[in-house]
């Protein structure tokens, strides 16, 4: 594994500002067709992104004993996200190993100062140029690339 500094556009993540939260900086929106998910650092709010198909935890199939829906499936899904977060490398910004927020196209992550959008479903976003912002990508070596 190697954490690399890449353009947000290269992984289909869009930086944006949220109306009413401009003083907190920018956050990110994940394109619905993007192949990445991320983990946000509990200490400094940096996000490490990773390709979901290359990540062994996120790409695993549903175990036979887990139903396709319902409370047991939700329990499995929460545990899977926690396994993903705990397997991420140390934050390249602060060195912390604690990542506490799973980020995908359904979640608006915290701002750099830790503030959370109060009502994400009502948030009015202003997209920024994804070529203008770099992000951290954890490149997972797959058996094919090894």
Q: What is the pLDDT of residues 106-127, one digit of tens each?
A: 989 999 999 998 887 888 999 9
Q: What is the DSSP annotation of 92-122?
A: TTT----EEEEESTT--PPPTTS---S-GGG
Q: What is the pLDDT of residues 73-88, one digit of tens each?
A: 999 999 999 999 999 9
Flag whether pLDDT at 143 surpasses 80: no
DSSP 8-state symbol, 66: S
Q: 144: pLDDT confidence band, cut at 50, 70 and 90? A: low
pLDDT of residue 113: 97
pLDDT of residue 4: 97
Distance between the two ends of the chain, CA-based, in angstroms? 11
Domain boundaries, the chain: 2-139
């Amino acid at each position: 594994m190697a954490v690399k500094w890449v353009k947000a556009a290269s992984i289909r993540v869009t930086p944006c500002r949220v109306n009413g939260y401009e003083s907190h900086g920018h956050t990110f929106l994940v394109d619905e067709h993007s192949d990445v998910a991320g983990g946000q650092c509990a200490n400094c709010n940096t996000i490490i992104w990773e390709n979901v198909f290359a990540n062994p935890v996120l790409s695993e199939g549903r175990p036979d004993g887990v139903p396709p829906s319902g409370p047991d499936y939700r329990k499995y899904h929460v545990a899977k996200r926690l396994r993903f977060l705990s397997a991420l490398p140390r934050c390249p910004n602060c060195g912390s190993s604690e990542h506490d927020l799973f980020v995908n196209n359904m979640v608006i992550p915290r701002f750099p100062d830790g503030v959370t959008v109060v009502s994400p479903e009502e948030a009015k976003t202003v997209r920024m140029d994804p070529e203008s912002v770099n992000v951290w990508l954890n490149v997972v070596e797959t058996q094919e690339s090894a």
